[in-house]
């Protein structure tokens, strides 16, 4: 039996929770390296709607190899300091208001992974990552992961966005986490490249302002060139991008996705549309 098959059998066995205390106990296997996703998540209603974006996420879920676990960086968990969820059973957080009851009824009962939380703490040496036992899965995580893995059978852990860190520091933190990809961990950044809720145009559900389209195209060009420094310096890049990123929380998950890239990896763009005037649903698969 080859080593990779043996690891898979061990991970699926009832003894796995006892004998495999850490994902890092597995031998590093670059051939099993998981891709990285950046998902433009948009409205919470995407959790329960059937539309081109949710169809794109479901198609991506069918394409991906099944991960050992998921580490998600969501725009909707900002903290002072960096935290990682470390509970066995994260709750489904309905962190929004004014939506139909059907959305509040959704539960995504994926298990957590204290082992992955510990590994994230271990591999990041530049700063302290504290355990969190109160948060759970916010809609930036579960509204997209429910389409990728509808059976909720992959453990999910969230990493918070530290308000005190500069964009380049977020990208450097991502680089430290990249070793987890070789342990079969799927890392997802969930946000939106263009996200200006104050300027949403409810009368334009299928299009974007000129400045939003321009910024989205600029971001894509920078991503495809692999210019991470320019992505981190977004605040210096002119009016279109300043309008598109009035606050950083929805943009920062993109920096994690790009920081996790190793070398000249293929970047595939999908769900590439600007909607409601000022929101981009553009998503990426890296690697």
Parse the chain into domains and list their residue ranges: 30-193+249-271+282-286
pTM higher than 0.95: no
195, burial (CB in 10 Å: exposed 0-12, middle 13-18, buried 19+): buried
Predicted local confidence at residue 15, as pLDDT: 34
Return all residues near 269 (Cβ < 8 A) that are at least 6 apart.
220, 223, 224, 282, 283, 284
Predicted local confidence at residue 265, as pLDDT: 86
For the structural domain made of 30-193+249-271+282-286, what CATH number should be given? 3.40.830.10
| Of 265 and 203, more confident | 203
Predicted local confidence at residue 64, as pLDDT: 98
User: pLDDT band at residue 1, thresholds of 50, 70 and 90?
Assistant: very low
Geometric angle at alpha carbon 142, from 141 and 146, rounded to 5°:
130
**pLDDT of 222-276, one tens digit each?**
999 999 999 999 999 999 999 999 999 999 999 999 999 876 689 999 999 999 9
């Amino acid at each position: 039996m080859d080593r990779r098959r043996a690891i898979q059998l061990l991970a699926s066995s009832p003894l796995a929770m006892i004998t495999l205390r850490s994902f890092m106990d597995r031998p590093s296997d670059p051939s099993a390296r998981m891709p990285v996703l950046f998902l433009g998540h948009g409205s919470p209603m995407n959790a329960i709607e059937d539309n081109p974006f949710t169809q794109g996420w479901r198609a991506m879920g069918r394409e991906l190899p099944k991960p050992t676990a998921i580490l998600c960086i969501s725009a909707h968990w900002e903290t002072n300091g960096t935290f990682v969820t470390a509970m066995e059973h994260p709750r489904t957080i309905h962190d929004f208001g004014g939506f139909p009851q059907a959305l509040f009824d959704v539960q995504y009962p994926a298990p957590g992974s204290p082992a992955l939380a510990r590994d994230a703490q271990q591999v990041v040496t530049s700063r302290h990552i504290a355990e969190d036992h109160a948060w759970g899965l916010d809609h930036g995580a579960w509204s997209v992961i429910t389409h990728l893995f509808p059976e909720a059978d992959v453990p999910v852990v969230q990493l918070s966005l530290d308000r005190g860190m500069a964009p380049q520091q977020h990208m450097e933190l991502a680089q430290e986490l990249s070793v987890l990809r070789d342990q079969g961990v799927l890392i997802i950044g969930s946000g939106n490249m263009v996200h200006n809720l104050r300027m949403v145009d409810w009368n334009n559900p299928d299009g974007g302002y000129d400045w939003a389209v321009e910024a989205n195209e600029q971001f894509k060009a920078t991503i495809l060139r692999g210019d991470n420094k320019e992505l981190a310096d977004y605040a210096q890049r002119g009016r279109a991008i300043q309008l598109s990123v009035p606050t950083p929380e929805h943009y920062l998950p993109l920096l994690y996705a790009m920081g996790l890239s190793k070398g000249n990896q293929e970047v595939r763009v999908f769900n590439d549309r600007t909607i409601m005037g000022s929101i981009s649903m553009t998503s990426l698969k890296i690697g």
